[in-house]
Chain A
Amino acid sequence: MSTAASGTKTIIEFDDKVVRQFLVATMVWGIVGMLVGVIIATQLAVWQANFNTSFLTFGRLRPLHTNAVIFAFVGNMVFTGVYYSLQRLCKVRMASDFLSKLHFWGWQLIIVAAAITLPLGLTRGKEYAELIWPINIAVALIWVVFAVNFFWTIAKRNEPTLYVGIWFYIATVITVAMLYIVNHLSIPTSWTHSYPIFGGVQDALVQWWYGHNAVAFFLTTPILGIMYYFLPKAAGRPVYSYRLSIVHFWSLVFLYIWAGPHHLLNTALPVWLQSLGMLFSLMLWAPSWAGMLNGLLTLRGAWHKLRTDPVLKFFAAAVTFYGMATFEGPLMSIKSVNALSHYSDWTVGHVHSGALGWNGFMTAGMVYWLAPRLWNRKLHSTQLANMHFWLGLVGILLYVAAMWMSGITQGLMLSATRESGSILAYPNFLDAVTSTMFLHHIRAGGGLLYLAGFILCGYNLWKTAWGAETVNGTMEVFVAEKRHAMGLGRGFLNAPVLYSLALVAFSIGWAALPATWGGLCIVGILATVMGAVTHKEFSGTAWSDWYEELLANSLQFSLLTALAVATGGIVQIVPTVIMQKAGNMEGVRQIPYTPLELAGRDIYVREGCYNCHSQMIRTLVGDVLRYGDYSKLGESIYDHPYQWGSKRTGPDLARLGSKYPNVWHYNHMLDPRNVSIGSTMPNYPWLFRDKTGVEALVSKIAVQKKLGVPFRETTLSEIQESCAKQAGVIAADLKTAGVETPPDREIVALIAYLQKLGRSEPVKPAPSAPPVVQR
């Protein structure tokens, strides 16, 4: 062990209480999140499991499941691993016990708030970003509390070197904060409702920049940090190649941030962004597999222990699933593969091989390793832990195999054509639903087995911990008297950083500026490269010394990482935000909503319809034949939030307006099987009871206008008059079709919105407006 040149020896006690608390929270919320998962999987197989109640419908429970698993289960698991390993790798107790406590209880309160608000239909309507704005602010504040405690601990450390696992944690802390804040920028209309400041394509791009990187920096990088700490611990040997782990970290962090647009392939998103997303995703395969191989090879010479040690069994399987999911992801990012896989169950299977296999099994391995150490007692039953492993493994395999088969069947059936590609082979969407129904039963069964495994795990840990004496770890460390600090200036004002910044600036200039300036930027790029080489040659300094120093100075390291990550986001998002505005649209532009249609749209968002229905017709033959002309950017430009969706459990709704009469929608929402035999959609009886909240439209329309959406009506009386008029027409039409309903009911507003879908008008670009490609 290396020590500081001069210093004193002392014994420190780690704060393991917070680790125990996070571990218990991981298990409790994990079981809750998985239970909700099993319920919604059952609802897709047996529609009656929606129970005709608003708060138990699939559209409201699915966000609860995803948020619970991502932020409550994996979130608490990450904090467990970080608080345990950070203290030991830095050889110091957490900087502030108070901040640790505040972090723990704040995070649990946020989870409780989410569990209450989501079933009530209080949502922002964006996947994995559904929580309402007051909870968003709480999340940001608690994350800052965690970050302060985290970096303060690193600053106080007694080990000069930062282990690679901590680099992964740093990338997580910084990037998650940035992603979360940008994707949650909203203007409130009330204490429980807001509209995102981005709309249409801008919102889609920001959402998937966030959504993809939530997977990258919340579900992957912190778990890799945990893998690099706990796997060597469990195997009793250092990581296979520390050098490879360095290459793994930098190439992974550099690539991940660019890959978001692969969620929007073949859509109305500009083609250059689709190409960028696809290529970076393909390259991600290399660093991901470097990490997987490094993890698996760490077990070299310890494979025999897998027979008896459940911890290693879980870790080995988890790393294997990581390899499988990170092979499958790039594969699905290839545009032609994505044409088949997107909007289908294949994506669900892919996500779950990552969530159940990688995240879930890493959690299990970690808690089985930690519990005996945190409660100072042998694990209650190794046999039960082994049983958990096999139940979980069989559960995942059933789940993933069912979703693969179901997804590929759906993709093939829905895109199949005959008569030389002029007619759909399966014109009825429900054919794809009914023919994959048995696979949904198998999926629900697989999920149930996986949940059973975690219930066994919870019981095993409870028996281990119950009545045991808790113990906090201690370590004898050398406390350095003084450590060389780099200084903020030296972190930034030095040759490697300045030359890199110049290269990035010239490259962006070349891509973004007109041709003459672009040419100058190429000269700038060449001059920078030559300048850097000459400078290095003549100065005789080793730039790697600066880098070594940087690794020991976490503030500078973190700020430079933040800068690198932000550059990726800016390059992708800024051109779209500046150019793709309503005024710049060519071809067609959405006809703005009336107040009643806006109220209907908010009901659509509240019920989580986007969980099963897309509003984006892709540039693919199957899509165009089934749903009409492909969607243009201008057709959703006023949509705050955008509702392009990511899954088609039901058909696309982008051009639903005027397709069916009002009474069809009325009967369909009452019981979808009235008009679509074999449908698995829930009934929505409460829409026929509850009244439309017209008063709330005043502040909602004021915010929409602020965001650039044109509305004629502004005062309450104008809005009421407009709503009453439009609702009266719909109610009268329903009456002539033999159905009587008061015009102030939510169903009328929803029908108004559904009949508006796909309505647009042709526009001519202003003479001064720059040309925009619509591909």
Chain B
Amino acid sequence: MFRRLLVTDLMNDFALITFAIFFLIFIFTAIWALSLPKKRVNHMANLPLESDQDNDEHHA
């Protein structure tokens, strides 16, 4: 059990494995983010800007 972790030189491959996993996740997320419809992205991006009824402006 855990022979590869504790005895063999698996750590030599860690650089490649960790980078590959991260890169895959990064690519998948990036593709998904880029493929989102523009209208939806704009809606989400503007969510914080919706003000309370009592307008924020006069406090600034």
Contact = CB atoms under 8 A, between A and B. Distances in A.
A1 interface: yes
Contacts of B50: 1, 88, 475
B26 A247 contact: yes
Interface in A564-579: 575, 578-579
A372 interface: yes
B23 to A, nearest CB: 9
B interface bracket (residues with beta carbon within 8 Å of A): 35 or more
A247 B30 contact: yes
Contacts of B56: 233, 373
Interface string B35-60: 11000111111111110111010011
A372 B54 CA distance: 12
A372 B59 contact: yes
Contacts of A163: 44, 47-48
B2 A512 contact: yes
A461 to B, nearest CB: 14
Contacts of A244: 33
Interface stretch (A44-52, A96-104, A124-132, A274-282): A274-282
A254 B48 CA distance: 25
B59 A579 contact: no
Given A246-B29, A280-B18, A283-B19, A578 B11 contact: no
A232 B42 CA distance: 13
A89 B32 contact: no
Contacts, number: 143
Interface residues of A, number: 66
A286 B19 CA distance: 12
A229 B45 CA distance: 10
A88 B56 CA distance: 13
A473 B54 contact: yes
Nearest to B50: A1
Interface string A226-260: 00111011001111001110110011001100100
Interface in A278-304: 279-280, 283, 286
Q: Which of A272, A471, A473 gathers most chain B CB within 10 Å?
A: A272
A724 B58 CA distance: 75
A279 B15 contact: yes
Interface in A134-180: 159, 161, 163-165
Interface string A513-555: 1110010000000000000000000000000100100000000
B47 to A, nearest CB: 5
A547 B14 CA distance: 30
A276 B19 CA distance: 11
Interface stretch (A25-33, A352-360, A612-620, A767-775): A767-775
A283 B59 contact: no
A1 B49 CA distance: 11
Interface string A1-20: 11000000001001000000
Contacts of B7: 771-773
B43 A2 contact: yes
Main secondary structure of the interface of A (DSSP, over half): helix
Interface in B1-40: 1-7, 10-11, 14-15, 18-19, 22, 25-26, 29-30, 32-36, 40
Contact of A251 (B11, B18, B19, B25): B25
A474 B14 contact: no
A511 interface: yes
A496 B46 CA distance: 30
A11 B53 contact: yes
Contacts of A165: 48
A239 B45 contact: yes
A76 B46 CA distance: 27
A378 B56 CA distance: 11
A238 B43 contact: no
Contacts of B41: 242-243
B11 A271 contact: yes
B1 A246 contact: no
Contacts of A512: 1-2, 4-5
Nearest to B39: A2
Contact of A276 (B14, B42, B52): B14
A69 to B, nearest CB: 27
B34 A233 contact: no
A587 to B, nearest CB: 15
Contacts of B1: 512-514, 578-579, 770
B9 to A, nearest CB: 9
Given A238-B49, A251-B22, A372-B59, A511 B10 contact: yes
A544 B32 contact: yes
Contacts of A515: 3
A75 B26 CA distance: 30
A85 interface: yes
A83 to B, nearest CB: 14
A251 B56 CA distance: 34
Nearest to B43: A2
A85 B44 CA distance: 14
Nearest to A276: B14
Nearest to B16: A279
Given A272-B10, A279-B18, A575-B2, A233 B48 contact: yes
B53 A476 contact: yes
A618 B29 CA distance: 39
Contacts of A85: 48
A309 B60 CA distance: 9
Nearest to A237: B49
Given A373-B56, A475-B53, A770-B1, A164 B44 contact: yes
Q: Which of B1, B6, B26, B52 gathers most chain A CB within 10 Å?
A: B6
Given A251-B22, A283-B18, A511 B35 contact: no
A394 B7 CA distance: 51
A270 interface: yes
Interface string A594-626: 000000000000000000000000000000000
A478 B26 CA distance: 36
A233 B49 contact: yes
B54 A474 contact: yes
24 contacts: A1-B43, A85-B48, A228-B48, A233-B48, A239-B48, A242-B45, A246-B32, A246-B36, A250-B25, A255-B22, A272-B10, A272-B11, A279-B18, A279-B19, A283-B18, A283-B19, A286-B26, A373-B56, A376-B54, A473-B53, A474-B54, A512-B1, A512-B5, A770-B6
Given A228-B48, A246-B29, 18 more contacts: A14-B52, A88-B50, A161-B40, A238-B42, A247-B26, A270-B6, A276-B14, A283-B19, A286-B26, A373-B52, A376-B59, A475-B53, A511-B2, A515-B3, A547-B32, A770-B1, A770-B6, A771-B7
Interface of B: 1-7, 10-11, 14-15, 18-19, 22, 25-26, 29-30, 32-36, 40-50, 52-54, 56, 59-60
Q: Nearest 7 A-B pairs (CB), nearest first?
A: A473-B52, A238-B45, A242-B45, A243-B33, A372-B59, A275-B11, A246-B33
